[in-house]
Every structure is written in C-alpha cells, then in structure tokens.
Amino acid sequence: MSTIITPFTDRRMAEIVEKVRSGERLNLEDGVYLYQTDDLLTLGQLANEANLRKNGKKVYFIENMSLYFTNVCESRCAFCNFRKDQGEEGSYTLSGPEMIEYVEQHIHPGIREFHIVGGHNNHVPFQYYVDSLKALNERFPDVTLKAYTAAEIEFFTRISGLSTKEVLEELMKAGLKSLTGGGAEILSDQYRQKMKVDKANVDQYLEVHRTAHQLGMKTHTTMLYGAIESHEDRIRHMLQIRDLQDETGGFLVFIPLSMQPKSKNAGIMRRNSAYEDLKTIAISRLMLDNIDHIKAYFINIGPQLTQVSLSFGASDVHGTILKERISHAAGALTPEGLTRKELVWLIQGAGRIPVERDTFYNEIKVYE
C-alpha cells in the first residue's frame, strides 16, 4: 500500500512522506510538524503504510486480567484518582490468598497474563510485593506475570534498600516475567514537577527499563498525554524511548494513553479529541520506527476509535482486561473489559486479521 499525496498535501508533509518511505528517521521538528498539520488523512495513511510493512494486516490481542493488590499510595500525582491514604474509606491492601480468591472467582481457562499494578504502599515491606507475585505464580503457574511499573520498581528500591538490579532479580525469582509500561507519564522533569508526579523521575524510569532489558526481560512502555505538556514534550518523550530501544531492543510495544478527566460527568472539552488521539497513535508509529507495535488502548479511547486506529498505525488492541480500575477511577466512560469474541469482531470489522498472542507476541491463534 502506498500513501496517496493529494493536491492538499503541502511540501513539508511531502518531505516527511519521502523520509519515511526511504527509511530515514524522523526528527524532533518532523514530529512537532505532524502534530501541527491538519492533513490527518495523509498522516494516517503514512502510519498505516509503516505499520503494514512491520506487521502486515495482523492485529494482536491477549486474554488477560488486570489485578490491583493495593490502592494505598504515598504519591499524590495530580492526575490520579485511584490512590487512597491508609485508612481512608475505600482503601485496601490484599494478601496473596485474598487475591487468589478474587482471581478464582473471575478467571477462565483462556487467561494467559496477569497485568498487575497498584499504589506505592509504604505501610507494607518490599517482601509483601515479592510474596504477592509468588502466591500467584504458585497457584497459576501457566499465567504470565506482567507486573509493576518502573515507578513501582524505583519505590521498591527505596523501601528495601536494594539496588534496581537486586529488586528486579528478587521479583524475577518470585515469577515476574515482564514489566508494565506505566509510570512514564511524560518524560520531562519540568512536566513531572508541575503535575506533582511524586515518583520516579525521567532518568530513574529509563534506568529501570534499561536494567530489566539487561537482565533479559522484555517490557512495555507508555506515554500519558493530554494534560499540560506541549507537542514538543510528547515528541521528546518518544525520542527518549527510541534512544533506549536503540540501546537495548527490550521494548515490545509503545502505548499512548489518552488522559481521562477526574469526573465521569466531565464534558467533551475536558477530554482529548478523537482527532488528537488518532494523531498521537499515527505519530507514535512514525517516530518509533524501532518498536514493533503501537497499542490502541480501548479503555481510554473507546472500542470504536480503537477500530479506526487500526488504519492509523496501531497493531495491538490490548486484551480482555476484566475490570480495569485506574482509568475508570479517573472518569473513563468505556467498558471495563471486552470478551475475546468482541475483540475478534472489532479487529475483523476493520478489515484486519485478529491474532491472539501471549505477553511476548508469540502467536497463539490466528483468526483467518
């Protein structure tokens, strides 16, 4: 498939099209321009072309469950509505057996991954987080543990006195196989200061993933957009991820996360537009030429826009999830999960080939 240059495509966009087609990397100025252009269709076609070269028409998903051991958190990030103080109404900290009881009530034989994140609860020791994984791994040995953000790993180093490498090694002994991508927000210390991101800084976030990759772990990474950051901030974020991927090759997927308002009753002017969401997915595909997959996260942008995004560079629609809590605590209006049949229907409706995968993008079943 080739991108159509229309009479409305300006010289600058035409230059970017030629750079992408010739395999030349886009730079900061290119990325910022792509956010500024109103030529959404050429941008989408170009991202689609880039994705088809990498993945063909295959679109990936996984049968997974989202688990949250605790919502007690020492951090008070400005955008978070999930966290609670210890003893606050609605706060909780589950033991391993309590989580196993919850999982056994909801799991079905197709589940391949537990996606585990939570609060930075400094009222429990690091061993609590190790034992939580160990309990799940012993009870469900065939389910991959994709657990904790880089920010959580940095938090664990502080409460344990261990190095990043030592923390990761202890968690790997307990069954950890991959890190989640959260905690990145926008990789700008100025942004993090303004948004009160009271957790891992930019260098710490990147160093956690670098260390995980050096230990042989493949990980995920995100970008939370739609607050106070500029378009240049977003592109600089992508470039830092691209640089680390050049160094380690350890990222499986990049996940643009559309920020949710704190109230479900917030009007459309308090949410990212569909236009901005599609642009961000397409630009991510074009800037991150060394990462195989860009994920369209239906929890934040909705199933219908997720379907459209498959023509704008996305090659992954995440998974079944089952009762997502963090984005919904922040005002997401989308379903808390989708079934396998619904994900297959969504992908096929976009003219693509659904592929059920495991955490590491090994193909389990292709739905021709």
Instruction: List Cα–Cα distances, 139 to 114, 133, 151, 226, in angstroms.
Output: 12, 10, 27, 39
Closest CA to 34 of 282, 289, 293, 291: 282
For residue 242, CA distances in Å to 108, 276, 281 come to: 37, 21, 15
Handedness of CA 359, 363, 367, 368 (dihedral sign): positive
Instruction: For residue 86, give both structure tokens.
Output: 């210890």
- Tell me whether residue 308 is annotated as binding: no
Q: Is 80 annotated as a binding residue?
A: yes
Helical pair 202-214 and 150-160, crossing angle rounded to 10 deg: 90
Amino acid code (one letter) for 305: L
At 77, the amino acid letter reads: C
For the record, the structure tokens of 172 come out as 């790997």
The letter for the amino acid at 127 is Q
Q: Is 117 annotated as a binding residue?
A: no
**Pure H helices in the chain:** 11-21, 28-36, 40-55, 96-106, 126-139, 150-160, 164-174, 189-194, 202-214, 231-248, 274-287, 298-301, 303-309, 326-329, 340-349
Token code pair at residue 323: 């009762």
The CA R_g of the chain, rounded to the nearest whole Å, is 20
| Start-to-end CA span in the chain (Å) | 20
275 Cα distance to chain centroid? 20
CA atoms within 13 A on the CB side of 57: 11
Q: Which residues are annotated as a binding site for [4Fe-4S] cluster?
A: 73, 77, 80
Q: Which residues are annotated as a binding site?
A: 73, 77, 80
